[in-house]
Copies of this chain bind each other. A is one copy, B any other.
Amino acid sequence: MAALAADAGRAHVVGVTGAPGVGKSTTTNALVAEYRRQGRRVGVLAVDPSSPFSGGALLGDRIRMSEHAADPDVFIRSMASRGHLGGLSWAAPQALRVLDAAGCDVVLVETVGVGQSEVEVAATADTTLVLLAPGMGDGIQAAKAGILEVADVLVVNKADRDGADRTVRDLRHAVQLGDRSEPGAWRPRVVRTVATGGDGVDDVVSAVEEHRRWLGPDGLRARRVHRAAHEVEGLALATLRARVGGVGGDARLEALAADVVAGRTDPYAAADRLVESLT
């Protein structure tokens, strides 16, 4: 990481997120094709949902990516999202930095998620795409999930399905309703795609480009400082967390938890004792 530090920061990082079933992998694949058509070097970081219980990951989606596997200007990295400090693996920002320093013009970061995970993607990406599919919830549902404030571009995929017009209309309406912003602020674009056929994917790329221009060097730098702060804080907390687990081992935490369940102490007092033993 120390050796890469000086070479990173050139790639535009595009987050691709949305609920399971909206077509994230297909869209990512179509975006890779479109960027390659434009002669750009592309990185893909696919943070697959793994079970935190089994530790396993279902990487079957990656098979669909194989048409690009032989392209020397496409770099693909799949990783499991582990750890319960958040949906994004702590290794993800590092993998991102490698793809960036390797000379990718664009890095697509694909994650699953509704709500919390999307916020993390937003903290990671220069531009965040949120994918939706018709009938998977109207504008109010999207607003409830906090999607509208996280998305820079809202992509209604599977737009050949019934209800697509309504979903697009609802989202545009919800974007307008949520627009409390000053003049010149970014208003999320709503784009329709049928990613399986590649329809509308060029519009997504245009919207990303438009957002990048809107950000400008200062906006981009502000997002990246925010992203780096999030990463540094996360790494620092991971170290502290390891120490929490490390003070007398998990046995101590378990004993405190058993005291809480038995009603002998409350969680705040238990947490104080845990912190005290650390510092």
Contacts and interface: CB of A to CB of B under 8 A. Distances in A.
B265 A5 contact: yes
Contacts of A253: 229, 232-233
B146 A258 contact: no
Interface string A113-157: 111110110010000000000011110111111100110000000
A63 interface: no
Work out how many copies of this chain go into the complex: 2
B144 A115 contact: no
Interface size class of A (residues with CB under 8 A): 35 or more
A69 interface: no
A274 interface: yes
A43 interface: no
A249 interface: no
Interface in A1-46: 1-2, 4-9, 19-21
Interface in A242-278: 244-245, 253-254, 256-258, 260-261, 263-272, 274-275, 278
Given A48-B144, A239-B275, A116 B84 contact: yes
Interface stretch (A70-78, A188-196, A208-216, A220-228): A220-228
A113 B146 CA distance: 11
A83 to B, nearest CB: 10
A117 to B, nearest CB: 6
A257 B234 CA distance: 12
Nearest to A250: B229
B244 A86 contact: no
Q: Which 3 A-B pairs have the closest CB atoms?
A: A235-B271, A21-B137, A229-B257
8 contacts: A1-B266, A6-B263, A19-B19, A20-B114, A58-B143, A114-B114, A239-B275, A240-B240
